[in-house]
Structure 1
Amino acid sequence: MVSIKLATPDDSAEVAALVRRLMDEISERTGSAAFRLQEPESKCRRYLENGIYTVLLAKTADGRTIGFLSLCESHSLYADGPFGIIQELYLLPEHRSSGNGSALLDEAVAVARDRGWGRLEVCTPPLPAFDRTFAFYGRNGFDIAGGRKMKRLL
């Protein structure tokens, strides 16, 4: 099993490298190269320094980072106040299906409770290529909230 550590700005390079792997995997599964990653390391550092981005790192016993989960706070009337959004969750493929993702989610729930958030939300693409991801979140207590995530690039 892994240990979960709160990332600091000094972990930005590791986080950025994992984000790149996540985006590559999503692009491969969807056949789309719609992600514009420009300076993810410096942005990650800045977001962590400003406290607007929380990153949990999954570490092996020998200190290797094998995955991460990122959280951001949002606010809405429908959620009755502040809540957390899981922006990214990624584990190296060889470390999946062994409880590591659930460990990251458990720690995210603890962070959410500490911050007084009433809920956590996550979005998975409504595509067959992400059925396992969808099932993973369901096994970890997430319910369908409705809708599909959409974007408009600016």
Structure 2
Amino acid sequence: MNANITIKTATPGDSHEIAVMVGELLSEIMNTIGVQAFNFDLEETTDRLRDFLNLEKYFVFIAHDEGKKAVGFLALYESHALYAEGSFGTIPELYVRPEYRSNNVGFRLVSQAKSFSVSRGWKRLEVTTPPLPQFDKTLAFYEREGFAISGGRKLKVAL
């Protein structure tokens, strides 16, 4: 598929469209690993994203094809750490619908995120991928985009 793709900064009005893709992303991850790792509710996710965007706590870039269909998105948030020498960005979600993969949509979303990060004065961008063989293509994509493995594993505890 060789479509004319445009990238724009998401607004709160885009929340439902992005939340649908979040559901697709989480389903794809869970199907790949065979574990119910996430809870997803479309309405709650839409409302949460709208709140995050309104508070400017979350920044999202959305890709559309020439038919105005949403084909992917990348989300960012600002973090702060001494080890990172100040403020930096974290990419919690990047998703491109399967039929648009291998069309530079992910590359363009990451490029937009890098430009945005520079404009914010962030020192770096971080992303976490599961350390599983099923995600080797994802890891290879990020490495092609200049990301380097920095060690460690992402851990969580529910509160």
Q: TM over 0.5, yes or no?
A: yes
- In structure 2, how many angstroms separate the alpha carbons of the residues matched to 1:36 and 1:72? 21
| Alpha-carbon distance in 1 for matches of 2:119, 2:69 | 27
Q: For residue 24 of structure 2, give the secondary structure of its aligned residue in structure 1.
A: helix
Which runs of no fewer than 5 residues in structure 1 stay unpaired? none
1:116 corresponds to: 121
For residues 35 and 17 of structure 2, the distance between their equivalents in structure 1, rounded to whole angstroms, comes to 24
Give deviations 1:44-80, integer Å, cap 9, x for gaps: 0000000001000011122111000000000000011
1:127 aligns with one of 115, 132, 141: 132
Off by >6 Å, runs of 4+ in structure 1: none
User: Can you list the C-alpha shifts for 1:57-115, whole angstroms capped at 9, x where unaligned?
Assistant: 01112211100000000000001100000010000001001111000000000000000
- For 2:48, what is the secondary structure of its paired residue? helix
Q: Secondary structure at the match of 1:101?
A: helix
Question: Secondary structure of 1:85's partner?
Answer: strand
Q: 1:8 aligns with which of 7, 11, 24?
A: 11
Q: How does 1:4-153 map to 2 (within 5 A)?
A: 4-38=7-41, 39-153=44-158
Q: Distance in 2 between matches of 1:22 and 1:16?
A: 10
The SS at the match of 2:84 is coil
Calculate the TM-score normalised by the size of structure 2: 0.95
SS of residue paired to 1:108: helix
Identity across the alignment (%) = 48
Report how far residue 150 of structure 1 moved: 1.1
Q: CA RMSD in A?
A: 0.8
| Structure 2: gaps (5+ residues) | none
